[in-house]
Amino acid sequence: MTTLERAEAAEHALSQELDRLVIVKSVIYSSGESDPRVPMKRPPSAGKRFLMGHDPRLPRMPERPTLIDFFRYRFAPANHLLQSARLAQKNGMSEKVVMACLVHDIAIAGFIRGDHGYWAAQLVEPYVDPEVAWAIRYHQALRFFPDESVGYRYPELYSTLFGPDYSPEPYIHRAHEYARRHAWYMTARLLTVNDLYAFDPGVQVELDEFTDVIGRNFRQPDEGLGLDDSPSAHMWRTIMWPTRYL
Ligand SMILES: [Fe+2]
Ligand SMILES: [Fe+2]
């Protein structure tokens, strides 16, 4: 078989598999685009099975996935994360800050945008130093507040994205007040300093550069990330199998 024939055969097999499956999106994926109070339209399901595992439209994850596998198969391209981590390294930051930079926006990259700092912190909490998870949780709030002592200004990008008069919700103000009095404040603050506003499409950073940092700072579960029994394992499973019926 030629490469083209192989590609066509694979595509044919995929469409046949999809014909036999019903894939239903979770409400949160379309809430807003459609009213969550209105029952969702169901695709025809006669003679079909509801998807309960791997979604054939997605790259298959290894049996015991690692953080690096999630980067490869679910978060890519993760340029913003990789470039921020490299910048932190170049600026001589501690490994905790580098590690925090590397995963600080994984919620945006592969899960849920709103409250992304909280989601990302929760995802990694069982596997990293508590200070790393803490910094990730609070970077979301700290991004909105300047700190002259480290030359951090309110991002111009935020004025463009949210308008010049945008002010975050009261809970974000409270989080900032709490964080700036905390012993780990500077770790979260340095994360925001190295959190690039815009990634440079010309700079390609390879994940391999951070294999050692991940090895030293992320406790990879033997069973595979998501297949262990940690408090956030279910969230990793949702990223791996985002369209399972139950
Ligand atoms: Fe962020
Ligand atoms: Fe970021």
Residues 6+ apart with CB under 8 A from 139: 100, 104, 117, 188, 191, 192, 195
Number of residues assigned to the chain = 246
The pLDDT-based confidence of 201 (bands split at 50, 70, 90) is: confident
**Token match 């409270």: residue?**
174
**pLDDT at res. 77:** 83
Ligand 1 geometric centre to CA of 43 (Å): 36
**pLDDT at res. 44:** 84
pTM of the predicted model, to two decimals? 0.94
Ligand 1 geometric centre to CA of 61 (Å): 25
Residues less than 5 Å from ion ligand 2, measured at CB:
105, 195
Give the count of beta carbons closer than 10 Å to the beta carbon of residue 129.
17
| Alpha-carbon gap, residue 75 to 105, rounded angstroms | 10
pLDDT mean across residues, the chain: 95
235-246 pLDDT tens trace: 999 999 999 999
Ligand 2 geometric centre to CA of 116 (Å): 10
Ligand 1 geometric centre to CA of 179 (Å): 16
Ligand 1 geometric centre to CA of 31 (Å): 22
Q: In terms of C-beta density within 10 A (0-12 exposed, 13-18 middle, 19 or more buried), how is residue 115 classed?
A: middle
CA-closest candidate to residue 132, choices 91, 81, 97: 97
7-20 pLDDT tens trace: 899 889 899 989 99
Ligand 1 geometric centre to CA of 117 (Å): 6
Residues 6+ apart with CB under 8 A from 62: 69, 224
Ligand 2 geometric centre to CA of 111 (Å): 14
Predicted confidence (pLDDT) at residue 198 exceeds the cutoff of 80: no
Ligand 2 geometric centre to CA of 52 (Å): 33
Which ligand sits nearest to residue 139's alpha carbon? 1
